[in-house]
Amino acid sequence: MATLGIPQNTIAVLQKYKFNFQKKYGQNFLIDTGVIDRIIEASGITKEDFVLEIGPGIGTMTQYLCERAGEVVAVEIDRNLIPILSETLAEYDNVTVLNEDILKVDINALAWEHTKGKPIKVVANLPYYITTPIIMGLFENRVPIDSITVMVQKEVADRMQVGPGTKDYGALSLAVQYYAKPEIITRVPPNCFIPRPSVGSAVIRLTGHSEAPVHVEDESLMFRVIRASFNQRRKTLVNALNNAPGISLEKEQLQKSLEELGVPATIRGEALSLEQFAELSNIIGKKIGKQRANMEDENGQ
Ligand code: SAM
């Protein structure tokens, strides 16, 4: 294996193909073999695994993945990288490169085609401009996930991992923690990339839950409640939920809901745990159901 993670080798490939970095694609290529080793080790890949890599770049980490995994599919949007990948991955017969936008790929269908339902591992040095849609897309579309081990912006890794009562806590923390267990593996400084990003980075591993960590009657309602709470995070929870889209309860009913949850009426959303959001959405859901039944009675339906 030609080790692309060594800066001189990466530069030689880039020069050979006269490659121009495209800022719009978040292209910051890894040039630190120590960091790549940490990512590979944290992902715990074996020959039994199917791995999806998002944004292989010139194939630096892809080479390591091909050595360790049973099969690798790498999805790269930039067509100028495709001829480079053909050369850098030429010696591997367990990799497929797709020249696609990952946000437009039906990952469920792709995974099913290769694993017939066995959970997959996702490994990537992500393009930071689409970190949240990529991660949430994997979870919300119910792609069978074993783990996601990815490089992200440092602040985003922090947001995924924190709990209530901290400034970084928000809708992303709750969504990620509902689907997976997040663990920050290591911080990565800008000098591990070419070109250097203007922000710090971190590798985070999200291990999919085998069972949902909380009981939720209506997932989409819970996420509406969460989004409404953090859209106006300076307001009290009651005021943030009042008039929020898809939560059709009067203020008084919302106050009663918080009473039932056993928290003060003046509480803010950022103080609630995932368990409390789940319980609150179950309480709100029941009240909305009752309200609807009453209205139907009144209308003689
Ligand atoms: N994995 C390489 C590495 O570590 O050196 C490159 C990582 S670079 C941060 C992100 C990569 O994702 C780039 O190769 C970029 O072209 C690709 N990319 C950006 N947007 C994408 C998209 N929507 N779908 C697929 N790949 C994308």
Average pLDDT, the chain: 95
Mutate to test the pocket of ligand 1, among 6, 37, 78 (most ligand atoms within 8 A of CB): 78
Q: How many whole angstroms separate alpha carbon 31 and alpha carbon 25?
A: 18
Supply φ then ψ for residue 244, to 5 degrees.
-70, 145
Residue 296: per-residue pLDDT: 83
Residue nearest to atom 3 of ligand 1 (CA): 29
Q: How many whole angstroms separate alpha carbon 143 and alpha carbon 32?
A: 30
Who lines ligand 1 at CB under 6 A? Answer: 25-30, 54-57, 60-61, 75-78, 81, 101-103, 125, 127, 130
The two tokens of residue 97 are 């490169």
What are 126-170's pLDDT values in tens digits? 999 999 999 999 999 999 999 999 999 999 999 999 999 899 999
pTM of the entire predicted model:
0.94
Residue nearest to atom 14 of ligand 1 (CA): 57
Whole-number Å distance, alpha carbon 56 to ligand 1 midpoint, is: 6
Mutate to test the pocket of ligand 1, among 22, 125, 192 (most ligand atoms within 8 A of CB): 125
272, with CB counted inside 10 A (0-12, 13-18, 19+), is buried
Whole-number Å distance, alpha carbon 33 to ligand 1 midpoint, is: 18
CA distances, 184 to each of 40, 107, 210, 273 (Å): 14, 25, 20, 20
> Which atom of ligand 1 lies nearest, measured to the CA of 30?
5
Mutate to test the pocket of ligand 1, among 21, 77, 80, 198 (most ligand atoms within 8 A of CB): 77
Residue 1 has pLDDT above 80, yes or no: no
Residue 26: per-residue pLDDT: 97
Supply φ then ψ for residue 21, to 5 degrees.
-65, 140
User: Are 107 and 51 a contacting pair, CB within 8 Å?
Assistant: no
Residue 298: per-residue pLDDT: 82
% of the chain beyond a pLDDT of 90: 89
The two tokens of residue 203 are 């590798």
What are 179-192's pLDDT values in tens digits? 999 999 999 999 99
On the CB side of 135, CA atoms within 13 Å amount to 34
Residue 21: per-residue pLDDT: 97
Residue nearest to atom 20 of ligand 1 (CA): 25
What are 179-232's pLDDT values in tens digits? 999 999 999 999 999 999 999 999 999 999 999 999 999 999 999 999 999 998
First to last CA, the chain: 71
